[in-house]
């Protein structure tokens, strides 16, 4: 499928649609509450989804950069970068009076809101739009809900995954035809309200390895009803091999990443999130494998592989396709940009 142009939008443009968008991508030191933004990019689009300009900056997180093997930004590269309070004003100017658009927008918005709260500034964002939710509204025939799959559907070439500027560019190019398809079909955009944080209390940085959270009283939460996984179960996880779409994953105990966000990431990667452990479970994710919980005990009795959260999130970045499924290939990455730029 190729990119759409304005001539393919025959129906009148919905007057209820927003008048401008800010397509955003941030790279971070991790996915937890205390992780920090290390780079940010914004593509400003007009009401029809046309690009007006773009902006990119590195951000000094004042801590370790996290998974360098994913985003490629080392401590040396980030050392001379501006702090978030130093770029907050420029970022605000690009977000103001626009709908924030991101792929898995709940994550990008939560990271941005926390950085603003740390800087004692209110983020000028009132609404957000998640392109995953929009793709579902449009019933796009995607093999999964990764950005690469959305890009391939619209013929957009991704040059450097996990680089904020290129991810934002790819998303902006894929969002425009999605927006036009929604307008033609009379689809209501899945807009959500953004509630900025007004205060922030710093807490210790989450450990990377062997993290063990103290269970808080009344931490039980009801399970969420999810659609059935479209892929067959390929069996158990094998050490030193990638995860595979269709694997049944169960979680036990507290996690450093918000549990619902972690489960959403697993589902988007094509995994089956199970609420219990059985002989069919591919792996159990827990930060406390010695805990006397029913899930860990069942996993040990069945011989189910057990992974810590940090190892699981690392594997989650590159899940192998299910048998018969083909994931889009990416082009060779260009050299990363190391300094703020604008157009």
Question: Could you give the CA distance from residue 235 to residue 145 in angstroms, rounded to a whole number?
Answer: 22
Range from 45-54, 191-200, 309-318 that averages highest in pLDDT: 45-54
- Name the more confident of 200 and 96: 96
**For residue 6, what is the DSSP state?**
G
Give the pLDDT score at 214: 34
Question: Could you give the CA distance from residue 206 to residue 86 in angstroms, rounded to a whole number?
Answer: 25
Give the pLDDT score at 195: 84
Sign of CA dihedral 332, 334, 335, 340: negative
- Name the more confident of 152 and 197: 152
Question: Could you give the CA distance from residue 65 to residue 75 in angstroms, rounded to a whole number?
Answer: 6
Euclidean distance between the first and the last CA atom of the chain, given in angstroms as a whole number: 29
User: What pLDDT digit, counting tens, does each position of 117-143 carry?
Assistant: 999 999 999 999 999 999 999 999 998
Nearest to 37 by CA among 95, 141, 114: 114
Question: Could you give the CA distance from residue 123 to residue 115 in angstroms, rounded to a whole number?
Answer: 9
User: What pLDDT digit, counting tens, does each position of 242-298 carry?
Assistant: 999 999 999 998 877 777 778 888 888 899 999 999 999 999 999 888 888 889 999
Range from 100-109, 164-173, 197-206 that averages highest in pLDDT: 164-173
Q: Under CATH, which architecture does the 19-191 domain have?
A: 2-Layer Sandwich (3.30)
User: What pLDDT digit, counting tens, does each position of 193-246 carry?
Assistant: 998 787 676 654 444 443 333 333 333 344 456 678 999 999 999 988 899 999
Give the pLDDT score at 220: 38
Question: Could you give the CA distance from residue 136 to residue 6 in angstroms, rounded to a whole number?
Answer: 22
Instruction: Assign domain 246-314 to its CATH superfamily.
Output: BRCT domain (3.40.50.10190)
pLDDT at 83 over 90: yes
- Name the more confident of 285 and 324: 285
**Residue ranges matching CATH 3.30.420.10 in the chain:** 19-191
**Residue ranges matching CATH 3.40.50.10190 in the chain:** 246-314
Instruction: Give the pLDDT mean for 78-99.
Output: 97
> E strands of 174-244, at which residues?
191-193
Instruction: Give the pLDDT mean for 302-308.
Output: 93
Give the pLDDT score at 225: 63
């Amino acid at each position: 499928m190729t990119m759409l142009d304005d001539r393919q939008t025959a129906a009148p443009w919905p007057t209820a649609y927003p008048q401008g968008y800010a397509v955003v991508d941030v790279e971070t030191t991790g996915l937890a509450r205390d992780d920090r933004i290390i780079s940010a990019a914004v593509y400003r689009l007009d009401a029809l989804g046309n690009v007006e300009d773009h902006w990119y900056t590195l951000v000094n997180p004042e801590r370790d950069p996290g998974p360098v093997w994913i985003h490629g930004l080392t401590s040396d590269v980030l050392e001379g970068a501006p702090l978030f309070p130093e770029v907050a004003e420029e970022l605000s100017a690009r977000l103001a009076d626009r709908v924030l658009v991101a792929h898995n927008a709940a994550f990008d918005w939560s990271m941005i809101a926390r950085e603003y709260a740390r800087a004692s500034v209110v983020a000028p964002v009132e609404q957000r739009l998640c392109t995953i939710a929009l793709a579902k509204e449009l019933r796009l025939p995607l093999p999964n809900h990764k950005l690469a799959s959305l890009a391939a559907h619209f013929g957009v070439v991704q040059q450097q995954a996990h680089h904020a500027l290129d991810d934002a560019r790819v998303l902006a190019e894929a969002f425009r035809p999605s927006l036009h398809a929604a307008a033609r079909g009379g689809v209501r955009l899945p807009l959500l309200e953004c509630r900025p944080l007004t205060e922030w209390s710093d807490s210790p940085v989450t450990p990377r390895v062997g993290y063990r959270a103290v269970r808080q009283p009344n931490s039980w939460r009801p399970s969420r009803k999810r659609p059935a996984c479209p892929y067959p179960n390929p069996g158990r996880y094998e050490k030193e091999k990638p995860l595979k779409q269709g694997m049944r994953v169960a979680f036990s105990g507290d996690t450093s990443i918000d549990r619902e966000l972690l489960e959403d990431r697993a589902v988007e990667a094509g995994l089956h999130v199970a609420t219990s452990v059985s002989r069919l479970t591919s792996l159990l994710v827990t930060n406390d494998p010695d805990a006397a919980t029913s899930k860990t005990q069942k996993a040990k009795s069945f011989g189910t592989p057990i992974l810590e959260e940090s190892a699981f999130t690392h594997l989650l970045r590159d899940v192998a396709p299910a048998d018969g499924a083909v994931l889009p290939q990416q082009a060779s990455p260009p050299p990363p940009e190391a300094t703020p730029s604008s157009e």
